[in-house]
Amino acid sequence: MSTPSISAPDFAGHDFDYIVIGGGTAGLAVAARLSEDPNLVVGVLEAGPEALQDNAINSPGQFLQILGTKYDWQFETVPQEGLGGRALAWPRGRVLGGTSALNLMTWNRGNKEDYDAWEQLGNKGWGWDGLLPFFKKAEAFHAPDKKTQSANREYYEPGAIGTDGPVHASYSKQYSKTHQLCYDALVALGIPENKSHHAGSNVGVWTNPVSVDPDRNTRSYAAPAYYVPNSSRRNLLVLTEALAHEIILEQKSGQWTATGVRFSYGDDSFVAQASREVILSAGSVQSPQLLELSGIGNPQVLEEAGIEVRVPNPNVGENLQDHLMTVSVFEIDPNIQVKNLGAPASPFCYLPVSTAVSEEESKLLLSKVEILERSTPEKDEILRSRFDPEANLGQFEYIFELGNWNSNFHPDPSNGKRYASVLQILQYPFSRGSIHICPPNFSRKDGSRSTIATKPAIDPGYYYGEKGEVDLETMKQCMRFSDKLCKSTPLSSVVGSRVAPPSSVTSDADLRDWVARNTTTDWHPVGTCAMGGHDGIRSGVVDDRLRVYNVKRLRVVDASIMPLQISAHLQATVYAIAEKGARLILEDSVEKGT
């Protein structure tokens, strides 16, 4: 495999057409597609190292061992009032390939309605039909043989998948005994099998594909997928361990224009120039951070941090949405082998609220939703519609996994007991938060300012306010489905008593308290540089061609542009955003004749 080999001075002295900030999931995909044109010179700045040979990343079975290492930015939220004052770890990839090198490799898509909602908000071309070609362009799906497909329920819709893209997607080669037991229990509960879960609806139960190259049994992520095959291109230059500090903005014809990037390598500082565009692909945490450090954002936030205001936009860093998760833990038959089978291999189940709770509870939740203050009518109305009893959308994801996945449950290892977990993940949160640069500990007299070295303040606002109250109530009610699942045959033949929440948690009040004290994140932040749609800069940061409002030659291409959360893990969608973003950039370049 090839390793990035350009020096920092050479990178800074290069004549680039495009500079991509962030060599992660989206950034490497964008750079690879732009550099397909040999007349374009593309540079990529990545803060982390390359780790192409590191088995901790490449081996699917070691996915949890990478978190908290040198490959992780090790971000943390501010204490969350809605979680009893707890702060949560927020892993993000600091390595060539970004978070695609750290994630759990889940490969799925949201519902057609999720993406159509983006277009409904005024973002032309971002509905399901507009995105499907880019989902397919990114993936190389390995279809299972008929025998395996039947044995493990490995279903797919041929017309909805891509077969020759850079990222490998496949079904696991091994499954535990509980895979079939859980699958059958869900079906016995009346949950429909979904044999076309990539084709616009993931509701129901289905077997989960993963981003693994089945021929090599290695993680398939952005670095080996998009960079390595193209690393010999003379017009694609990647500098790792280079930390971007700010986007260089200059006044041209009376408008702020991105002309380059100031970055550091070791103790030295450099500036690299881009003659066409700077493309920000630093993710939902650091894309807004870099915009603010460059003078683009809420004037109050910038002034408190000692940053000169260049382009006022109060939406930068706002609209943060994340998937919230609780984990129930059950004792399990000690004869069940709890061992690492590689990438997570489980039946996935997405359910509407009306399926996961009783009719009475569903009506109660709907009544709470209907009285919410309509601060952003169009977005709120879309979220309200997903509680409609007729809506067939996955408000909740349920995953049954062997082992203890609850970080707050600490059993005595000497008791000889074994455990299984049910992960309950809220897909369409009302909770909203923000990510902003922090005011430094400085005196105005010495002119200090916030820098990239200061981690931003991440405040997801979990369960906060009346909107967060709806999320908390929804999570509380939908947790009960896990008990129902584990008590259903044939899964009940190997699953015993529940230990988290403990058996003493029976009342609504106790369960509500336990949820607040045990909710964590599924690490799917979006929305902090969202597309503005119909409302433009009044509610967003970029337009539907991903151009930053009121700044020329600057775009954002990553998960931060998503205006509303989706019912899915983010990986495949981020690749689709990158593929589409690269297409938009090339189209605009041709239109301008540049």
In order of 153, 244, 324, 436, 570, the CA distances from 284 in angstroms are 35, 15, 16, 11, 12
- Report residue 377 as tokens: 């009518």
Full DSSP string of 363-380: HHHHHHHHTS--SSHHHH
Can you say whether the dihedral through the CA atoms of 362, 364, 365, 366 is positive or negative?
positive
Helix axes 465-486, 359-370, angle to 10 degrees: 170
Half-sphere exposure of 583 (CA within 13 A, CB side): 16
Coil/strand/helix, residue 191: coil
Distance CA 286, CA 266 (A): 20
The answer to whether the beta carbons of residues 540 and 527 sit under 8 Å apart is no
Q: Does 314 sit behind a cis peptide bond, omega within 30 degrees of 0 on the bond before it?
A: no
Q: How many H helices and E strands in the chain?
A: 16, 24
For residue 526, what are the β-bridge partners?
Answer: 321
CA angle 416, 420, 425 (to 5 degrees): 150
**Phi then psi dihedrals of residue 565, to 5 deg:** -65, 155
Q: Which of 162, 179, 167, 150 is nearest to 214 (CA)?
A: 167
For residue 206, what are the β-bridge partners?
Answer: 348
Span between the terminal Cα atoms of the chain, in Å: 34
Q: Which of 133, 106, 122 is nearest to 568 (CA)?
A: 106
Distance CA 17, CA 22 (A): 16
Residues with active-site annotation: 524
